[in-house]
Structure 1
Amino acid sequence: MNISVVRPGDLGEVEIARWRELQGADPALDNPFLSVEFALAMGRLRGYVRVAVIEDGGKIVAFFPYERHNFGIGKPLGGFLTTCHGLISVPGLKVNIRTLLRACRLTVFDFDHMVAGQPTFAPYQTDVRPAPVMDLSAGFAAYAEQVRANSPKNYKTVRYKERKLDREQGGLRFEWDSADPGALRQLMQWKSDQYRRTGRVDRFAQPWIVQLLDEMHAQRSSGFAGVLTMVYAGDKPVAGHFGLRTADTLVGWFPAYDVEFARYSPGIVHHLLMAEYAAGAGLRQVDMGKGGREYKSWLKSGDLFVAEGRVSRPSPTAAVHWMGRTPVNKARTIVTDRPELYRLADRVLKGFGRMRTSVQSQSSSTVVKEPWGAG
């Protein structure tokens, strides 16, 4: 195999076409975060984005998009923003992981939403988690019937609140695939407010993330697009969502609502309407992503699976990174069970200890010689 690493913008038309071909040939890769359009957008906005192009016998067999941060720390493309990552490859391909990391100039690569079971990364999976989906392959009516059967009380309550919102607030209107940039700004404002209320970091305080959503909102093709959906009561927006889609799958990304209407559960009302319109638009599923809110457990009608794990090459950086990302007791067991990691970690930690001791000694020496300095 031959592995070359490029910036996404350096991919030519042949490579872009091959990426789409590989993704389209494997249903497990049917996720817009694995699409070349997302990689190209990230490459325009962030200088640390790279793509490993993997060839075998003179033919491209895989693409590996990733982020390379300081000290060779590797992260999935989009990092905390995305709900799926992996190798876009011919089915069943297994790449030597150390060869791949070396070619990518990575010492370590953490993943938490990897397409489960990919042969290259499967040996390094430490956990596999379900990602709930709204399965629309048999149409919305069949999906709604399954949700009703799974949780009749919840379904009945949400439909009641939907009618109540319609009756009391001037009529309900749903807009699928809105092109209105003002509506997108409203959604981001709701989401920023939610982040602050819940003590989380406001992602939209970072201009490049706002720009990413703007670029994704402008994408309009049959195989990839940003989809903005909004619920209105009268003329007032009350809930919305912005996500990405392929030809068959819409992925949940940024849902939010106006807290003034919280008593109507507008977010859940929106999700059911979104599923109905998604089915009408020919989409086969809505991927809600792993974890998160309780509502996913009763809105789902199926699961995909994503994996968590970590791969690395022996190095001081990888050893320290491992210990920093793992609870202390687990890290101690892992490191002591692996002599090469233990030696590397011990060497680095001793170096840090010497540095700290030296700094403390210099500080003490300064205080002794010039006790009046603090005055």
Structure 2
Amino acid sequence: MNITVHRPGELSAVDRAAWTALQSRAHLHGSPGLANPFLSPEFTLAIGHERRGVRIAVAREDGEPAGFLPFQRSATGVGRAIGLGISDCQGLVHRPGFDWNARELLRACGLSLWEFDHLVSGQAPFEAHASATFASPVIDLDQGYDTYLRHLRERSPKFIKGTLAKERRLSRDHGAVRYVHDERDPAVLTTLMGWKSAQYRRTGRSDRFAHPWIVRLLRRLFHTRADSFAGVLSVLYAADVPIAAHFGLRSERIHTCWFPAYDPAFAKYSPGLIMHLGMAEGAAADGIAHIDLGRGQKVYKDSLKTRELMVSEGWVALRHPVAFGHRARRAPVRALRNTVQTRPELFEPADKLLKRMGRIRSRGGE
């Protein structure tokens, strides 16, 4: 096995096509998660335009590409999964039967450590170094939207009945409701980011859109369109006024739930749930096999999901001072966060405190 490391602009058209082909065929070889758009060359190249240190390791066997690992490298040799912090799926895209040694791969990449927090399942060499595993709910659509809707009615009849009733009420109160699966108006993307930013602040969370590079990244991905990858803006309208929207990524078979938000003035109608049902119908019509709702427990995810995938977090590390130092700083923070998030008796008071702080911050106009 030969491993070479490239900057995004150095990746040849042949290698990029091979990467896309591996993703396109992944479901045929029992690794459907490798088709996730966060693992695509387009996502890596977009991150490369906005962040320094983006690299792509290409592993070859008999001269042919066998695996692609995108990552970000610091000046000290600390590696992070590409887009760590905003990416919902990470790992090495590889051909069937390909095996690798995680630490040898790190050495070839010039890394002392590689950190991940949404490792796709089936990556045994990396999973051996995982510190925790989490559920990532999904909506299965490979049997079509009608089958999915029937599943919801059988499992949660009150949920689906109530959501559809709210949609009818919304139409009576505010005008005709319509859903656009792939909105091309960039002004609505700006509206969505404004809603999401306000939501982060209102709930006491860190505002991702306070970082200009994330705003630029979404705009870049919004304009990225190919058969194998696209940024998709989905919007729910009432009387031609946007009231809920979502921006995510899609590959040939997977649509990711990434940034959903809605106008709080319409909260009583549950516009986010109505929009997600529209997303499911639109994605099924596009031939999508499943929507990945992303790691994290939320009531709306539990209501919409058909099953769960598993993702892992952790790091592969060499015996190196930089790796030891990085783990010493990061491990306690991760452990505390995971303990709080997985224990309701801790999460609920912490969540209430964050929301209280968010309200104070919002009133202060910060």
Q: Could you state the TM-score of these two structures normalised by the residue count of structure 1?
A: 0.85
Question: Is 2:21 the partner of 1:16?
Answer: no
Name the residue aligned to 2:221.
216
Corresponding position: 1:272 with 2:277: yes
Q: Aligned residues: percent identity?
A: 47
Residue 298 of structure 1 aligns to a residue in which SS? helix
Output the CA distance in 2 between the equivalents of 1:119 and 1:57: 23
Which AA in structure 2 matches 1:62?
A: G
Amino acid at match of 2:54: V
User: Which among 217, 232, 238 is matched to residue 233 of structure 1?
Assistant: 238
The Cα shift of 1:286 comes to 0.9
Alpha-carbon distance change, 122 to 92 in structure 1, aligned in 2, over 3 angstroms: farther
Q: Distance in 2 between matches of 1:281 and 1:128?
A: 31
- Of 75, 83, 106 in structure 1, the residue corresponding to residue 80 of structure 2 is 75
CA deviation vs aligned residue, 1:148-184 (integer Å, no higher than 9, x gap): 2222222221111111111111110111101001011
Quote the Cα distance in structure 2 between the aligned partners of 1:281 and 1:28: 18
**CA separation in 1, counterparts of 2:87 and 2:297?**
14
Quote how far apart the aligned CAs of 1:258 are.
0.2
Q: Is the 8 A contact 1:244 1:251 kept in 2?
A: yes
Q: How far is 1:28 from its partner? A: 2.6
Residue 339 of structure 1 is matched in structure 2 by none
8 Å CA contact retained: 1:226, 1:242 = yes
Contact persistence 1:113–1:308 (CA under 8 A): yes
Residue 25 of structure 1 deviates from its aligned partner by: 2.1
- Structure 1 position 2 matched with structure 2 position 5: no
The aligned runs of 1:140-289 (5 Å cut-off) are: 140-289=145-294
1:132 aligns with 2:162: no
Q: Would you say the 8 A contact 1:93–1:120 is kept in 2?
A: no
1:257-336 to 2 correspondences below 5 Å:
257-327=262-332
> Deviation per CA, 1:285-340, whole angstroms, max 9, x where unpaired?
11101114211112001222212222100112211222222239x89xxxxxxxxx
Q: Distance in 2 between matches of 1:149 and 1:308?
A: 34
Is the contact between residue 93 and residue 119 of structure 1 (CA under 8 Å) also seen in structure 2? no
Q: d(CA) in 2 for partners of 1:292 and 1:68?
A: 30
Q: Is the 8 A contact 2:24 2:252 kept in 1?
A: no
Offset of 1:29 from its aligned partner? 0.6
| CA radius of gyration, larger in | 1
Cα RMSD for the two superposed structures = 1.6
SS in 1 for 2:265: helix
Which secondary structure state, in structure 2, belongs to the residue aligned with residue 200 of structure 1?
Answer: coil
Query: How far off its partner does 1:65 sit?
Result: 0.2
Q: Is the contact made by 1:9 and 1:44 (CA closer than 8 Å) also made in structure 2?
A: no
Q: Which residue of 1 aligns with 2:70?
A: 65
1:107 partner letter: S
Tell me the distance in 1 between the aligned counterparts of 2:297 and 2:83. Answer: 18
Q: Map Cα deviations across residues 21-65 of structure 1 (whole Å, 9 max, x no partner).
A: 222221231110011111111112212111111112222111110
Displacement of 1:81 after TM fit?
0.8
The one-letter code of the counterpart of 1:115 is V
Cα separation, 1, equivalents of 2:212 and 2:332: 33
The question of whether the paired residues in 1 share the 8 Å contact of 2:253 and 2:289 is answered with yes
Aligned residues of 1:92 and 1:119 also touching (Cα < 8 A): no
Cα distance in 2 for residues equivalent to 1:289 and 1:92:
27
User: For the Cα contact (< 8 Å) 1:256–1:267, is it kept in 2?
Assistant: yes
Aligned residue in 2 for 1:116: 121
SS in 2 for 1:157: helix
CA distance in 2 between counterparts of 1:35 and 1:319 reads: 31
- Matches of 1:215 and 1:326, distance apart in 2: 33
